Structure 1
Amino acid sequence: MSDVEVSVVLPAYNEAATIEETVETTLSTLAAFLPAGSFEVIVAEDGCEDRTPEIATRMADADERVRHVHSDERLGRGGALSYAFRQAEGETLVYFDTDLATDMRHLEELVESVRSGEYDVATGSRWLPENRADRPAKRGVPSLGYNTLVRLFLRSDLQDHQCGFKAFDRAAALDLLDEVEDEHWFWDTELLVRAQREGYRVKEFPVDWTPKGDSKVDLVRDVFGMGSQIVRTWWQLSVSPRITRKVSMTAGSLLVIAALVLAVTVVFDPAAVLDAISGADGVVVAFSGVVYLLSWPLRGQRYRDILARLGHDSDTWFLTGAIFISQTGNLVFPARLGDGVRAYVVKARRQIPYPTGFASLAVERVFDLLAITVLAGSVLVGLVVTGGTDQVAQAIAADVPPVTIGDDTLDPAAAARTALRVAAVVGAAAIAGVAVIVVSARRDSDLVHRAVTALSNDSYAQYVSGIVEQFVGDVETVVADRGAFLRVGVGSLVIWIVDVLTAVVVFAAFPSIELSPSLVAAAFFAVSVGNLAKILPLSPGGIGLYEGAFTLIVVGLTTVTGPVALAISIVDHAVKNAVTIVGGLGSMAWLNVSLTTAVEESQQSGEIEPEAD
C-alpha cells in the first residue's frame, strides 16, 4: 500500500523551458509542510512537441517523488488532468498551472483544506475582495464577464472558476470526473459547478496572483467555446432533468393545439374550414396519398447512395423501411427523437456502426434542406424579380395597423416586403452554398481548418475545427464524387418535387380551386416554406407549424380564401402523415422493430449525437 497522501499534477504542454524549475519549486514547497514520502509530483505531459517528455523522464528517474505521465496525443488541458488524476496515488489531488502565476505560499492552505477533511474541494480565487491579483484589462474584463455568466446561468456561488490552483478529495474528484464532459478550458468550471450541485463542500480562498507569459482574448475559445459550454451545462443541469418525454409531448401538443385553435377561431371561421374539408373529393385525396407514396422508394434509393459512398452497402427496400420507421418516430415523439431510430435500425439489422448511421443521416438532412431551400428560394427570387412579393406583404400586413414610434410611422406592408427581400437574399445564398460545397470538396485544401485557425491559434480552435471538419467531411465525401453528388442531389430535388405534387393534387380535390401555373408555383413555395418551418422541433411531425406557414403563403400569393387554404394545408399534411404512419407500422412489423426500444437504444448509443433537420 502506498504512503502517498498528496498527489500534485502539473499539466504540461511544451514547457521545456520552465518545467524543471517548476517541479523543483513544487517539491521544496511541499517538503516544507508535509512528511517525507507522503507526496508525489506528476508531470502530466500532454503530447508535447518539444523536450518536455525527456526532461520529465529524466526528473522521474532521478527522484522517486516525481512521476511522468505521458500521452501520445493531445488530450486537452482538462483531459490531461483527468488522465493523470486517475493514475495518481494520493487521497488529496492537487493541480496548478506550471507558470506558477499563483504565489506558492498559498499551497499549504490549498492542500490542508482538503487533506484535513474539512472540505472536498478547494480553489484559489483572484476575485475575492481581500486578494491582490494583478489583473490587466485584457485579462480582467473577459474574466469578470465570464465568471458573471457562470454565476448567473449555472447558479455557482464562487467568484473565480478559472484560477489554475485547485485541490480535490480523491473520491469526490473521481465521482465528478465521470460526469464532466469538457476536456479543455471549461474543465475547471464544470468540475466546480457540478461539485456544488452534488453537495460537496467547496472552499474558495483569496490568492496572490501575477500574470505570466502572453495571453489574449481568443475568439474561438472564449466566445464560441466557453459560451457554448456554459449553455450546454446549463441545459444538462437545469433544463434537461425537467423535460421528461411526457412533459415534452404534452407541452408540444398543447402549443400546437393552442396555435391551431387561435388560427381557426380568430383568423378564420371554423365552420368554413370544416365545410371546405368535407367538400373535398375523397377519391382525389386518396390519389394524393398514392402520389406521395411514390417518394418513399426514392428516399430509400437516395439513402443507399449515401451509405454506399460512406463505405456501406445495403438494399433500397430495407432502407425505405428504416426511413418509414424513423419518420413515424418523429410523428410520435417530440424534438425529432425519431431521427436516431434510423441509426439504431441500420445498426441492429445491417451492422452499420452508429457513427456512420448518424453521419449518413446528417448528409441526407443537408441535401434535404438544400433541395427545399432551392425550391423555395427559386420561387422567392422570382417573386422579387416580378414584384410578386407585394401580394404576400399585403396579406401578412392585412390586419396590422401602422405603428407610430416618435415621429416615425412604420408601415407593416413595407416592413413585410423588406423581410421577403431579405429572405430572397438568404434563398439565393443557400443556392450559392451548394456551389461552394461542390468547389471546396474538389479542392485539396483544408478550408474549415484554415478559416477557424485564421480567427484563433489556440488549442481550442483545433478542437472546434475538428468537430466542424467531421461534419463537413461527411458531406464532402458524397459531394466530392461527381456521380454520387448528382444522384443524391437530383434525388433530393425529385423527392421534394413529389412532395409538392402531392399538395397540388390536394388542391385539385377542392371544388373551388382552379389549377393554374401561378397556383402550382404558389404550391411549390408554400410546401417548401412549410417544410422549412418544421425544422423547429416544437411539435411531433411539425403539426401546426406546417399548416401555419402553408396557409400564410397560399393566402398571400393566390386568390384562395383563408378557410380553404387552411383546409388544404390540413388535408395535405394529414395525407402525408397517414402514409408515413401506415408505412411505419408495416415496416416495424416486417423488420420486427419496437419504436420505443429503438428510441431508447439510439439515445444510449453515446457515440455521436444525431443532427436535427
Structure 2
Amino acid sequence: MLQLVVSLGVGLATVLAVCAGLVVQFKSPRPRPRDESENYYLCIDEKHERQRLGDLRSEATVDLSIVVPAYNEEERLPVLLDDVRRYVAERRRREPRFSYELLIMDDGSRDKTLEVAMAHARKHGVRELKAVRHVVNRGKGGAVTQGVMSAQGRFVLFCDADGATRFSDIDALLARAQAAARGGLAIAIGSRNNQALSGTVVERSHVRAFLQWGFHTYVTILGVRGVRDTQCGFKLFSREAARRIFYNMHVERFIFDVEILLLARYQRIPLVEVPVNWHEVAGSKMSIVRDSIQMALDLLAVRLNYLLGRWKIAHYPEATASPGASAR
C-alpha cells in the first residue's frame, strides 16, 4: 500500500513538473524590440511634427506623464481626452506651473485612433499630446511598458483609453503615493473594490463582477496577496518606482498588471490601493472566455519563471541628465 502511494506521488509530481515545464516553455512572453519608427511621436508642433521620444532613465522634465494604451479606440478615446483636458484646466487654476505630457500609444490600430488623437490636439491646442504608432499590436501591457519607458514625468500614470475611471481621481492617487513614498519609491493603484468605505461609485455587470472575483481568487492562490483589485487600469508610479518596475517587465498582454505587483513586492516598493469612481464602458476588446483562459495560463507562466529563477530582477538604471533638462 505504501509503495502504491509513493508511486502515485512520484507520478503526480512528474506530471506536474512536465506541465510546469511546458507552460514555461510555450507560454512565457517574449517581448519584441522596438522598431526604429516607434522611437518617435507625432505632435502639433509646426516646426517639428515628428520628434524623438523621451527616456525614463533621464531626469524628469514635467510633473506628470499620462500613458494611454489604445487599440481601435477611435470611438471611446475622445471621452478620456476631454476628461484629461478638463482636469488639466482645473489643476492649472490651482497650480499655474503644472506641467504634463499625454502619451497616446496607438497599438497597431486598424481604425482612426491616431487620427482622432491628433484631431483633438489640433482642435484644442494640446501641444502636450504625443501620439506613437506601433507597427504591430503588442498588447495592452506592451503598449503601457513602451509608453512608461518613454515618460518624462516626476510621476507616471497609465490609464485605459475608454474613460471608465474618473480622471480627477488621480489627485487621490497622488496624495496617497506622496504620503507613502520611501526613498523616492511609491506606487498607487486604483481600486474598484473599496467603495463601501470611500463613497466612490462603481457600475459593473454581474458577469464582470463574478469574473473579477474568480480571477482575484486565482491570483491569491498563486501568491499575489494584499491587493483587492489587480486589474484596474489606473495606476500611478513615482519616477524611481517606474524605473525599477518597467525595465524588468516581460508581459505584454492583459496579465501585465500582476507582474507589476510581483515586481513591486519583490523590490519592497511601497504600494497603496486607492478607491476610484468607475463605470463599465461598452466596447471592451476582451473575450470573456478566451482571454480568461489565456490570462490564467500567462499568470502561471509568470509565477513559475520568477519562482524558478529564470527571470532575474535587474537593478534599474540610474537617472541621467538630458541636455537642457531639469526636474521640476
What's the TM-score bracket when you normalise by the shorter of the two chains? 0.5 to 0.7
Of 68, 73, 85 in structure 1, the residue corresponding to residue 136 of structure 2 is: 73
1:220-299 matches, cutoff 5 A: 220-223=290-293, 225-238=294-307, 240-241=308-309
Offset of 1:41 from its aligned partner?
1.4
Deviation at 1:170, TM superposition (A): 1.9
Q: CA deviation at 1:3?
A: 4.0
Q: Counterpart in 2 of 1:32? A: 90
- Say whether 1:219 aligns with 2:285: no
Q: Secondary structure at the match of 2:133?
A: strand
Shift of 1:120: 1.1
Match of 1:149 among 218, 238, 263: 218
Separation of aligned partners in 2, 1:191 and 1:134: 25
- The equivalent of 1:253 in structure 2 is none
SS at match of 2:91: coil
**1:168 and 2:231 are equivalent in the alignment:** no
Unmatched 5+ stretches in structure 2: 1-58, 311-328
Q: Highest relative contact order (Cα 8 Å, sep 6+), 1 or 2?
A: 2
Equivalent runs, 1:68-467 vs 2, <5 Å: 68-114=131-177, 118=181, 120-128=186-194, 129-130=196-197, 131-214=200-283, 218-223=288-293, 225-238=294-307, 240-241=308-309
1:497-576 paired onto structure 2 within 5 Å: none
Structure 1: gaps (5+ residues): 243-613
CA contact (8 A) 2:67 2:103 kept: yes
Between Structure 1 and Structure 2, which shows a larger proportion of strand residues?
2
Identify if the C-alpha distance between structure 1 residues 241 and 67 changes in structure 2 by more than 3 Å, giving closer, same or farther.
closer
Counterpart residue number, 2:112: 51
- 3-state secondary structure, aligned to 1:48: coil
Q: What is the CA–CA distance in structure 1 between the aligned matches of 2:175 and 2:135, rounded to whole Å?
A: 34
Shift of 1:2: 6.3
Q: Relative to 1, partners in 2 of residues 1:235 and 1:69: Cα closer, same or farther, differing over 3 Å?
A: same
SS at match of 1:91: strand
Q: Which one has the largest radius of gyration? A: 1
Whether the 8 Å contact between 1:120 and 1:168 is mirrored in structure 2 is: yes
- SS state of the match for residue 72, structure 1? coil
1:214–1:70 distance in 2 versus 1, CA, 3 Å: closer
- SS class of match (1:87): coil
| C-alpha deviation, 1:115, in angstroms | 5.3
CA displacement, residues 527-546 of structure 1 (integer Å, 9 cap, x when unaligned): xxxxxxxxxxxxxxxxxxxx
Asked if the contact 2:188/2:272 (under 8 Å) is kept, the reply is yes
Amino acid at match of 1:47: G
**Deviation per CA, 1:105-161, whole angstroms, max 9, x where unpaired?**
412112333356736111111122425422322101111110111122123210100
Paired amino acid for 2:174? V
Deviation at 1:55, TM superposition (A): 2.4
- Alignment-derived partner of residue 6 in structure 1: 64
State which of 76, 80, 91 in structure 2 corresponds to 1:22.
80
Partners of 1:2 and 1:192 in 2: CA distance:
24
SS of residue matched to 2:280: coil
In the TM superposition, residue 212 of structure 1 has moved relative to its aligned partner by 1.0
Give me the CA root mean square deviation.
Answer: 2.3
Distance 2:264 2:291 in 1: 24
Query: What is the alpha-carbon distance in structure 1 between the residues aligned to residue 253 and residue 218 of structure 2?
Result: 18
Would the alpha carbon gap of residues 25 and 232 (structure 1) be closer, same or farther in structure 2, given more than 3 Å must change? same
Q: How many residues align?
A: 240
Between 29-38 and 171-180, the greater mean CA deviation after superposition: 29-38
Residues 186 and 226 in structure 1, CA contact (< 8 A), matched pair in contact too: yes
- Give the aligned partner of residue 321 of structure 2: none
Q: 1:37 deviation in Å?
A: 4.7
- For the 8 Å contact 1:124–1:206, the answer to whether it is kept is yes
Instruction: Give aligned-pair identity as a percent.
Output: 25
Specify whether residues 59 and 208 from structure 1 end up closer, same or farther in structure 2 by C-alpha distance, changes over 3 A only: closer
Q: Deviations over 1:233-285 (max 9, x none)?
A: 221333x149xxxxxxxxxxxxxxxxxxxxxxxxxxxxxxxxxxxxxxxxxxx
Amino acid of the structure 2 residue aligned with 1:83: Q
